[in-house]
Structure 1
Amino acid sequence: MQSLLQLAEDLGLTVIEKRAPHTSGYRPDERIIRLTPGMPRRAARSVLAHELGHHVLGHRPTDFGPIRSRQERQANEWAAQHLIRHDVYIESERIRDAHLGSMAHDLDVAPELVAVYRAMLQRMGDATYVKPRMGAGQWMYRAEAPA
């Protein structure tokens, strides 16, 4: 959590815990990330990373459903990529028989981020690719399956 708070500070953002009519969120005009007080550590860590994703990706609040959905997906993907180490994910998946809740505990993230990370994977043959795209060599990360 401390590294995320440091990243927020480095980006010129203020992180506060405050109850409000709305829950946690990012306010770009004020450069504030608001977290709901009393969240469990894994949830707070995941939410903070998600809100940092909105900032880094330049998202602006919108009520237009398709854009809002895309922004939420992108912020979740950003959070999952920054909080989950692929080697630890693979080991947890093997040990926990891919049980989402148990893996979330191992990875110290909310279960939703484990599901998001899993959705970004493409397994082909003996390799796993993170965020694959069309074309040779077009992926964020590639790992060979252990022998």
Structure 2
Amino acid sequence: MEDMLDVARERGVRVAWRDLGRRNGEYHSTGLIVLNPKRSLTVQRVTLAHELGHARYGHTWTEDAAAHRRNERLADEHAAALLIGVGEYAAAERTVGPHLGALARELGVTAQIVEAWQRLAQRTRRIA
């Protein structure tokens, strides 16, 4: 978690904790990310990385469903890039195989972030 808090500080983003009910976190265009302290440290760390993605891209709330999906995908991919290194992913896959849940557990992230990392890696390979 400290690694993501360091990234937030470096980017000038403030982080606070508040019970958000069913939500894991939220980004405010004022430069504040709020995390739900009732979630596990893994979920809080992943959520912080995700919300840092929204901050990086300057996302604001939208009711446009397609734009919302795109913003969420970009934020997940940003989080994946922050949280998972190429070597770490390769070592995890050698250790536990290709199962999303097993990879997520090994890498200390969520399956959704593993999927985002895989999308990024696949796109990068196509470009190269």
**Structure 1 length normalisation: TM-score?**
0.78
Q: Please list every run of 5 or more consecutive structure 1 residues that lacks an aligned counterpart in the other structure.
A: 123-129, 140-147
CA distance in 2, matches of 1:77, 1:92: 18
In the TM superposition, 1:26-45 aligns within 5 A as 26-28=27-29, 30-45=30-45
> What is the aligned-residue RMSD (CA, Å)?
1.7
In the TM superposition, 1:1-147 aligns within 5 A as 1-20=1-20, 23=23, 24-28=25-29, 30-122=30-122, 131-133=124-126, 138-139=127-128
Q: Secondary structure at the match of 2:75?
A: helix
Q: Give the partner amino acid of 1:131.
A: T
Q: Please list every run of 5 or more consecutive structure 2 residues that lacks an aligned counterpart in the other structure.
A: none
Q: Give the partner amino acid of 1:26.
A: Y
Q: What is the Cα deviation at residue 36 of structure 1?
A: 0.8
CA distance in 2, matches of 1:21, 1:63: 21
Which 4+ stretches in 1 moved above 6 angstroms? none
Identity of aligned residues (%): 32
Q: Which has the larger radius of gyration?
A: 1
Q: Secondary structure at the match of 2:63?
A: coil
CA distance in 1, matches of 2:79, 2:70: 14
Q: Give the partner amino acid of 1:66.
A: A
Checking the alignment, whether the CA contact within 8 Å between 2:96 and 2:106 is kept in structure 1 is: no
Task: Tell me which protein shows more strand as a share of its residues.
Answer: 1
Q: Secondary structure at the match of 1:34?
A: strand
CA displacement 1:82-106 (0-9 Å, x = unmatched): 1101111112112212121221121
Q: Secondary structure at the match of 1:16?
A: strand
Task: Tell me which protein shows more helix as a share of its residues.
Answer: 2
